[in-house]
Amino acid sequence: MGTPKAQNDTHFLVGHGYDLHRLEFHAPGGPARPLVLGGVKFPHNRGPVAHSDGDALYHAVTDAILGALGQPDIGQLFPDTDPRHEAQDSAVFVGEAVKRMKDLGWRVGNMDATVILETAKVGPVKSQMRANLARLLEVPESRVNVKGKTHEGVDAVGEGRAVEVHAVVVLVRG
């Protein structure tokens, strides 16, 4: 597919993505799934309440790309009422956003994300998250960054009851 004329008037596009998932204690038959962020499983006594695998980092990155392209967001493309996405590996959502991006004649310039999580450390698995994202976004790892923050004990995120992710992406001509 060629690049639509309307998208020929700029050299780059910026997209922002945000996601939050409630974290619940694991219990037999409970709502929580294993905590997965950027495709990396965290040993944790809580997990996200989600229809898919609840990977808030992949969801934020997906929405950042779709947002830059002016496309429908992740909730519109993959509604949580669709049984096909039950426990879905969220790498599929990133892949669909990347496919749409390439079809429209763009590629990722860089992506920067902040994961806000109180009770597990992002630092030790950051390089694995970057590697996973670089592979999915088809860029070198140097073009992908993930930062971990806490919420300083404040509010639901600070009390460990949710995980929050912000992501910003720049798309350049493919």
The residues that touch Mg ion, with contacts defined as CB under 5 A, are 19, 59
The backbone torsions φ and ψ at residue 26, rounded to the nearest 5 degrees and listed phi first, read -70, 135
| Residue 127 CB, nearest approach to Mg ion (Å) | 23
For Mg ion, the closer CB: 7 or 20: 20
Cβ atoms of 3 and 151 within 8 Å: the answer is no
Distance in Å, CB of 59 to Mg ion, minimum = 4
Phi first, then psi: what are they for 96, rounded to 5°?
Answer: -65, -40
Instruction: Tell me how far, at minimum, the Cβ of 85 lies from Mg ion, in Å.
Output: 11
- Closest-by-Cβ residue to Mg ion is 59
Q: How many residues does the chain have?
A: 174
DSSP letter string, 34-85 = PEEETTEEE--SEEEB-SS---HHHHHHHHHHHHHHT---HHHHS-TT-GGG
- Residue 19 or 164: which CB sits closer to Mg ion? 19
- Looking at the Cβ atoms of 137 and 165, the one nearer to Mg ion is 165
> Looking at beta carbons only, is 96 or 141 nearer to Mg ion?
96
| Minimum gap (Å) between residue 122 Cβ and Mg ion | 17
